[in-house]
A and B are shown apart, each in its own frame.
Chain A
Amino acid sequence: MPRSTTPLSDPAQWIICEHCDSLYHATPLNKGETAYCLRCAGVLSRGHRMTIEQLLALSIAAGIMFVFANVFPVISISMKGLYNQVTLWGSVEALAQGQITLIALVAGLAIILAPALQIALLFWVLVHAQRDEIAPGFKICMRTLEHLRPWSMLEVCLLGILVAIIKLGGMLDVHPGVGLWAMAMLMVLIVLIAGKDIRRLWDDLGVQPE
């Protein structure tokens, strides 16, 4: 381990494990490589899998899929000649009655608001990053992205839709809607673009500490 720099004088050369506070000298990783902490075996850092341009393209695709997933019904059912369908918003609304409205807010955050904000903020910072610029409001965008991550639950929502389809399939005719396919693609895209990997922009853009 080179001792030429100290963590105080040259912070960019060092890396701290978020799980156990171990301090390491940073080593650049190649695509697909992962560094693990020797003390706690947690992930220390990952090599970047995609370029900024690819991330931007995927965030645009995610934006389109988000619109499809929200405009089109995710499930439709029919029973004795009657027909009904549900969108993501419709399912959140179904929870917003009387005493339990609070849970509608949580569900709305988890399946609509958090993913929407994630996509919009990612697009904003990436569209500037791709031109080597630091987006206006970059710090607040990046901080918000970090705080949104745990509350974005598209994977759970997708599984929920599948369970609902099977659950109702026993008593009625159930058809998956266009929204479901968009939802499935959106989930994959969000997993690809909204992870911790986006923190690289701090270094890539050379955001200077004050």
Chain B
Amino acid sequence: MNGIPFAHERKVTLCHVCGYVCPEDAHDCPRCDSAVHRRKPNSLVRTWAFLIAGLIFYIPANTLPVMFTTLLGSASENTIMSGVIEFAEGGSWDIAILIFIASVLVPCVKFLVLGMLLVTCQRRSQWAMRERSRLYRFIELIGYWSMLDVLVVALVAALVQFRGLSTIEPRLGILFFGLVVVMTMLAAMSFDPRLIWDAEVEDV
């Protein structure tokens, strides 16, 4: 395309842990002893597996309550969406939008982008390679912000413990939500962005 050589054309490969330029036939990095792979092993299959696991956990994460509140004798359970709606109705639009972005938008964008990357790589598509590469780096960057709601529930549940007056407890939904975050993070880590560019060369 633009004449920049690919590392594998010159018989070398990158160590992802220390950045050393390793010989292509090395199993371990000569400098830091980490395993080196020309491409992450079984990248597409593993990414699909983590992505689908994340999608499955996403259902209970949204339907099961994440928090149980008692306030002066009245009890209520909140799911992630009902928490967002409660903030919005209470006039805290900024917090409602923040939690909506972290808990709903970020995981959904991650599902969609990773799914799109997987499908285009399997088809060896040459479409918008630079933009797809950028998208991958973007979801890698934003992925862990979804942990926000888990940490908010943890803090609030630890604080509001006034027996008889008001208590807040975490509920099962927050476990599934945390697992969604972990699964999508593992999916993003398993995906090898170099696969996007492999479509450019024939003999890989």
Chain A residues with a Cβ under 8 A of chain B: 6-8, 11-12, 14-16, 18-24, 38-42, 74-75, 77, 79-80, 82, 84-86, 90-95, 97, 99-100, 102-104, 106-107, 110-111, 139, 142-143, 146-147, 150, 153, 155-157, 159-161, 163-164, 166-168, 170-172, 199, 202, 207-210
Contact = CB atoms under 8 A, between A and B. Distances in A.
B12 A23 contact: yes
B197 A39 contact: yes
A8 B6 contact: no
In the complex, which of the residues A18, A40, A82, A143 has the most CB atoms of chain B within 10 Å of its own CB atom?
A: A40
B186 to A, nearest CB: 10
Nearest to B163: A82
12 contacts: A16-B21, A21-B14, A22-B4, A40-B197, A86-B159, A100-B172, A103-B150, A106-B182, A107-B154, A139-B32, A161-B155, A209-B29
B82 interface: no
Nearest to A170: B90
Given A8-B11, A41-B133, A41-B134, A156 B197 contact: no
A24 B4 contact: yes
7 tightest CB-CB pairs across the interface, nearest first? A160-B151, A209-B30, A94-B158, A11-B21, A16-B14, A103-B178, A100-B175
Contacts of A207: 31-32
Interface string B1-18: 110111111111110111
Nearest to B95: A166
A164 B7 CA distance: 48
A99 B171 CA distance: 9
Interface in B161-186: 161-162, 165-166, 169-172, 174-175, 178-179, 182, 185
Contacts of A208: 31
A97 B71 CA distance: 21
Interface of B: 1-2, 4-14, 16-23, 29-34, 71, 87, 90, 92, 95, 98-99, 129-130, 133-134, 136-137, 144-145, 147-148, 150-162, 165-166, 169-172, 174-175, 178-179, 182, 185, 189, 193-194, 196-197
B100 to A, nearest CB: 12
Contact of A107 (B14, B18, B151): B151
Contacts of B31: 202, 207-210
Contact of B170 (A42, A97, A157): A97
Contacts of B18: 142-143, 146, 199, 202
A190 to B, nearest CB: 14
B152 A160 contact: yes
A22 B9 CA distance: 10
A7 B71 CA distance: 67
Contact of B155 (A91, A97, A100, A172): A91
Choose among A42, A100, A146, A159 the residue with the greatest number of B CB atoms under 10 Å from its CB. A100
Contacts of B133: 19-20, 40-42
Contacts of B6: 21-23
